[in-house]
Amino acid sequence: MINLETVKILRSLRLPGMARELESQLEDPQRYRGLSFEDRLALLADAENGSRRKNTVKRRIADARFSEPTASIEAIEYHEDRELDKGLITKLATCSYIRENHHVVLKGATGAGKSYIANALGAAACRKLYKVRYVRLPDLLNEFAVAKALNTQNKVKTAYAKFDLLIIDEWLLRPLPESEAYDLLEIIEACSKKGALILCTQYDTDDWYFRIDCDRAEDDDSAVAEGILDRIIHNKYVIEVKGRISMRKRHAFAESEESGVADNG
């Protein structure tokens, strides 16, 4: 009876992991009979720590706003025609690039699967308790434009600066005029100081310069474009995502094949 009261107290103290572990010990006393008090207490503490970590990871993934929240490193498809560098992706999954303040560029055609890989790397970072945010570049620029109109752009910059990893999809999908280019510089400056960026793009880094501050004459230099590139290209990993067909078509074909087998069965 006393032990059941202890379980209730643990739950009231918001220690559900310890409560579940104590219940387990009470249900199977024989299993724990040979353990010392310190060993059993250590099991309770480990259970609570594991429970809290699991909940933190769930919150990190929810807060990241991934476009594909179930993406995982383990589920990345290494088809021969994609020519993915599995060694590099495995290395990036350790998140050492975040600690080293390096960036990742995922380059490939529409439907190549760039976003999935970016989401998978983001999820790996969440599991290591990093703060992550996924956002499309058009949405990011719109958010900053609205903030400027409300004179709250500093609040937005401060919020983005708190992320350890910022994933920007549809990077430079369209050329940016000077005003948007400067807004982007402000955000990149805030985010690149302490953490890392993952950029999903269809364009080689050599093409970025003329897609930033695009209103200028072709022969003119752009301090804004140079500022953005300087913060990214010198400390980057590049993953080129190839493929004869898009991943959407590949999956649609696989599903139709499975459906046909099921119908024939």
- pLDDT digit string (tens) for 48-104? 888 899 999 999 999 999 999 999 999 999 999 999 999 999 999 999 999 999 999
Name residue, tokens 């600066």.
Answer: 161
Q: Do residues 78 and 135 share a domain?
A: yes
Q: Do residues 103 and 36 share a domain?
A: no
Return the axis-axis angle of helices 178-192 and 223-230, rounded to nearest 10°. 30
CATH code, domain carrying 74:
3.40.50.300
Q: Do residues 134 and 246 share a domain?
A: yes
Q: Do residues 136 and 236 share a domain?
A: yes
Q: Do residues 146 and 209 share a domain?
A: yes
Structural domain of 47: 2-62
In the listed set 37, 62, 87, which residue is the last one of a domain according to the structure?
A: 62
- Tell me if 88 is assigned to some domain: yes
In the numeric block, which tokens belong to residue 98?
A: 């975040």
- Tell me if 259 is assigned to some domain: no
Q: Do residues 148 and 43 share a domain?
A: no
- Tell me if 12 is assigned to some domain: yes
Bigger pLDDT: 164 or 250?
164
Domains in the chain: how many in total?
2
Query: Looking at the whole model, is its pTM more than 0.75?
Result: yes
Q: Do residues 38 and 100 share a domain?
A: no
In the listed set 31, 62, 93, which residue is the last one of a domain according to the structure?
A: 62
In the numeric block, which tokens belong to residue 34?
A: 């040979």
Q: Do residues 220 and 234 share a domain?
A: yes
Burial of 201 (0-12, 13-18, 19+ CB in 10 A): buried
- Tell me if 264 is assigned to some domain: no
- Tell me if 262 is assigned to some domain: no
Cα–Cα separations (whole angstroms), residue 28 to 1, 16, 24, 32, 40: 16, 19, 6, 7, 13
**89-120 residues labelled b (16+ CB within 10 A) or e (exposed):** beebbebebbeeebbbbbbbeeebbbbbbbbb
> For 17-45, what is each residue's pLDDT tens digit?
999 999 988 888 888 888 998 998 899 99
